[in-house]
Structure 1
Amino acid sequence: MNMHAFLNKFMMYYEIKRMSLAGRSASKISKALNCNRRTVKKYLEMDDGEFDAFVRTQSCRQKILLPYETFVCDRLVSFRDTSSAQVHDLLKERHDEFPRVNQKTIYNFVKWIRSKYNLPYEPAIRDYSAVDETPFGLQAQVDFGEYNIRSSNGKRLKVYFFTMVLSRSRYKYVNFSARPYTTRTAIEAHELAFSFIKGIPTEVVYDQDKVFISSENSGDIILTTQFKNYVRDRAFQYHFCRKSDPESKGKIENVVKYVKQNFLYNRTFHDLSALNTDAIGWLARTANKLEHGSTKRPPIDEWIIEQHLLTPYYPVMIPDLPISLYTVRKDNTISWKSNFYSLPLGTYTGRGTSVSAQNQGNELVLSDKDKKELCRHQIPIGTGKKVLKTGHKRDASIATNELISKLHNYPCEKEGLDKFIESIKRDKPRYLRDQLLLLLKLIRDIDTETINRVLDFCNQKGINSVNDLSKILETFQKAPPEESIQTSAINPLSGGSSIMALIQPLTSNISDYNSIMNPIIN
């Protein structure tokens, strides 16, 4: 151990002891000294003699990876930017007998070798050269961004934005959306941008974004169908940067950062329309008005020159994607991208029933063949899920109300009948329809007086089952009309009357116990 490390441990030990004597806890000491709480506890448990012995063992401790010093040193000499994780993998690859050690041990060992042989980490340096300014009207750059903005209720929500900048004049445009941009919404944003800058450049530079590209293979770009048609109609050239290379379109990257740090920072979100309106105002008074740091001229002054060299802008209709039809299943659902989505009851009308599905942001819009919207669902994350709406389920209340109406047609007391039905609803809501069917079948051939007596009896005794009502009805029908029905307690285990339950137990007088506990002594 070198003298510097020894002094650090020495000062740490005595500072921990001093703060502990001052009444501070181990957690507070670790925060104050920026060290691990376990280190604080370990030092607090030592006395001066134990600490001295601990420091001596540290000074003469051998490094377990010392046999591999030459290998690691040679590697670092050849490749200064080699990480400790890569060194660890190389040691295991080249040396079968390499011991099993912690990654932190490898990190400390590599750090020690760099310090010993003066081999600092030197990342690979990319060479840059100045680029000539592009001619007026030649190029624009496009990119997307997102930002967590504070809403008026104090919560954070994410907004997405589309930006375009003319490479020569630095004239900017920004458009905000509440949902991630799709191919169609990105095309709509292009139209808004071209309308704002009053023209179309010869070339537009993009990232390799899935909004525009369906696949890429070693430079072979395949555009999405809708964007390919749009580019053909608009007749501008496109250029896609290489993956993970944002520096190749630095102008638009700076615009994205500018929007976040100058316009969105500490701004309160009220609604999307207001945010887009505020953004246009910000472009007019700040982003396109102030002098640019590189050109030393306001972008709007340069744009006045550039707009005459842009292809004139005229609105075009954005064609919809071809409608894809999906077969409706018997249970009024469709399968879309490995998830099931419900449709309103009655959508399925037989074999061959189909609907169209369109992805609009985070929602799936389902429409019939006449393009009439049937419903829309939030698209879940993942696959194998059922997305159902409560309103699409069978309405059992209609059938239940019809049964209650049929019961009311029988000549019986409506108040007692409704009270009995309500007790069934409370106790057996899932079986209400079955209970009503049984009741309807039961009272079909019963006279009004008997059914009224049975209903009153059940309501008084809290009976809310039609099966129980049926047994009571049999009892009423067997008993003579003038006799009152005698009820007795029912044994819940055997179902029969218990004779023992009718026996009255003997009772004692409390005065007998008082005379025993408090005898009168003469």
Structure 2
Amino acid sequence: MNYYLNKLMTYHEVHKMYREGNSIRKISEHLGLNWRTVKKLLSKDDRSYQKELEQPISKKKLLDPFRDFVREKLELYHDTSAAQMFDWLKEQHPDFPSVSAKAVFNFVQGIRAEFNIPKVSSARDFQMVEELPYGSQAQVDFGFYNMTTTTNKQKRVQFFTFILSRSRYKFILFSDIPFTTAMVIDAHEQAFQFIAGLPEEIVYDQDRLFIVSENLGDIVLTSEFSNYVRERGIKLHFCRKSDPQSKGKVENVVKYVKQNFLYNRPYRDLETLNNECIAWLHRTANNLPHGTTKLIPLEELAKEQMFLEQYHRVLPKPPQKQIYAVHKDNKVSYKGNFYSVPISTYNAGIY
């Protein structure tokens, strides 16, 4: 009965808003319905729709066992997207059947309509970017997010984001402390290992971890990152500030991580978060068709790897030993301070 009443109320609300002069798109956004559903409801009169509702449902839906889970999530988080719900279902239910994203979308929309749970939508701007050849470019950016811990405290995390521009294959690495240049270098190495290769060029923002200053248009790199780039032979491209057109792909990934992976995910510890993210990359981010290319990044990576430079991990060079003179009174001067050494050291000549 509750199902019948909610369907009937939605039907009458759609017709009421339409009579008031609202467009199909406006009704769709306000009620959290697909525009096709709104159009279909508007095409029916009261009598035929009531007759349709009164007909018994003869076939049990494949996704019915997950109704309570979806309803609970939607009631807690009204703005949950169908894409994120799809990922949650696969993550939380190993027995979740193999269905299309469209089937899950319709299932979620049906529950929204049945229990009157509208979605709070926000406008998003997209811009077409010309596709590049395989292996030619990757993009790197950073994201920040405030998570709620399992003890109901706030935890700010930062994440390194890497994407191959053509295949859209992604790598993410989280940190619970601010990234240093050394940590960023290690993140690059993990990304290259994850994709099993190196692209020709990497696009960056003008981040303090990479750049000391910009002198008359010339980028001055930090010494540590400059040494790494020279050893790796990476070609770099730095975007100017407020220039999202040059690195729109990776900026979209930052949003995707926040909205699909991090949204309403509790923080336990850093290792767990990174393990969960790798599982998400394999399960969802790199294994579902990309919204723009309509291709699966994992399958596209197999093509792109043929154009990537072969990966060999760069090991950090061991620190060079410093030699200090020992004074007659068995002391060594180090950075303006004197330190005592064993009495027999002076006889050895060098400490």
In which range does the TM-score fall when normalised by the shorter chain?
0.5 to 0.7
Cα offset, 1:226, TM superposition: 1.1
Describe the superposition over 1:15-68 as per-residue Cα deviations: whole angstroms up to 9, x where unpaired: xxxxxxxxxxxxxxxxxxxxxxxxxxxxxxxxxxxxxxxxxxxxxxxxxxxxxx
Cα offset, 1:135, TM superposition: 0.1
Partner residue of 2:215?
A: 217
Amino acid at match of 1:313: Y
CA distance in structure 2 between the aligned counterparts of 1:237 and 1:228, rounded to whole angstroms: 11
Count of residues in Structure 1 that have an aligned counterpart in Structure 2: 208
Partner residue of 2:147?
A: 149
Residues 163 and 130 of structure 1: CA distance in aligned 2, closer, same or farther (over 3 Å): closer
TM-score normalised according to structure 2 size: 0.55
Please tell me whether the aligned partners of residues 135 and 168 of structure 1 are also in contact (alpha carbons under 8 angstroms): yes
Q: How does 1:150-299 map to 2 (within 5 A)?
A: 150-299=148-297
Residues 351 and 272 of structure 1: CA distance in aligned 2, closer, same or farther (over 3 Å): same
Residues 130 and 251 of structure 1: CA distance in aligned 2, closer, same or farther (over 3 Å): closer
Amino acid at match of 1:250: G
Residues 223 and 192 of structure 1: CA distance in aligned 2, closer, same or farther (over 3 Å): same
Cα offset, 1:246, TM superposition: 2.5
Residues 289 and 129 of structure 1: CA distance in aligned 2, closer, same or farther (over 3 Å): closer
Residues 282 and 170 of structure 1: CA distance in aligned 2, closer, same or farther (over 3 Å): same
Q: How does 1:346-495 map to 2 (within 5 A)?
A: 352-354=333-335
Residues 165 and 215 of structure 1: CA distance in aligned 2, closer, same or farther (over 3 Å): same
Partner residue of 1:302?
A: 300
Cα offset, 1:316, TM superposition: 1.1
Residues 219 and 320 of structure 1: CA distance in aligned 2, closer, same or farther (over 3 Å): farther
Residues 131 and 253 of structure 1: CA distance in aligned 2, closer, same or farther (over 3 Å): closer
Cα offset, 1:319, TM superposition: 3.6
Please tell me whether the aligned partners of residues 230 and 318 of structure 1 are also in contact (alpha carbons under 8 angstroms): no
TM-score normalised according to structure 1 size: 0.38
Please tell me whether the aligned partners of residues 207 and 243 of structure 1 are also in contact (alpha carbons under 8 angstroms): yes
Amino acid at match of 1:230: Y
Structure 1, 128-137 or 264-273: larger mean CA deviation: 128-137
Please tell me whether the aligned partners of residues 149 and 159 of structure 1 are also in contact (alpha carbons under 8 angstroms): yes
Describe the superposition over 1:194-215 as per-residue Cα deviations: whole angstroms up to 9, x where unpaired: 0000100000000000101111
CA distance in structure 1 between the aligned counterparts of 2:321 and 2:258, rounded to whole angstroms: 37
Describe the superposition over 1:325-381 as per-residue Cα deviations: whole angstroms up to 9, x where unpaired: xxxxxxxxxxxxxxxxxxxxxxxx97835499xxxxxxxxxxx99xxxxxxxxxxxx
Partner residue of 1:139?
A: 137
CA distance in structure 1 between the aligned counterparts of 2:145 and 2:319, rounded to whole angstroms: 29
Report % sequence identity. Answer: 54
CA distance in structure 2 between the aligned counterparts of 1:133 and 1:200, rounded to whole angstroms: 18
Amino acid at match of 2:293: T
Partner residue of 2:346?
A: none
What is the SS of the residue equivalent to 2:247? helix
Cα offset, 1:217, TM superposition: 2.5
Describe the superposition over 1:196-248 as per-residue Cα deviations: whole angstroms up to 9, x where unpaired: 00100000000000101111124210111111111111112000001222232
CA distance in structure 2 between the aligned counterparts of 1:291 and 1:248, rounded to whole angstroms: 23
Partner residue of 2:313?
A: 315
Q: Which runs of 5+ in 1 are unaligned?
A: 1-127, 325-348, 357-367, 370-522
What is the SS of the residue equivalent to 1:246? coil
Q: Which runs of 5+ in 2 are unaligned?
A: 1-125, 323-329, 341-351
Please tell me whether the aligned partners of residues 214 and 222 of structure 1 are also in contact (alpha carbons under 8 angstroms): yes
CA distance in structure 2 between the aligned counterparts of 1:355 and 1:177, rounded to whole angstroms: 36
Amino acid at match of 1:244: S
Amino acid at match of 1:139: Q
Describe the superposition over 1:447-497 as per-residue Cα deviations: whole angstroms up to 9, x where unpaired: xxxxxxxxxxxxxxxxxxxxxxxxxxxxxxxxxxxxxxxxxxxxxxxxxxx
Residues 354 and 312 of structure 1: CA distance in aligned 2, closer, same or farther (over 3 Å): same
* Higher RCO (Cα < 8 Å, 6 or more apart): 2
Give the root-mean-square deviation of aligned CA atoms. Answer: 2.8
Amino acid at match of 1:352: S
Q: Which entry has the higher C-alpha Rg, 1 or 2?
A: 1
CA distance in structure 2 between the aligned counterparts of 1:208 and 1:253, rounded to whole angstroms: 14
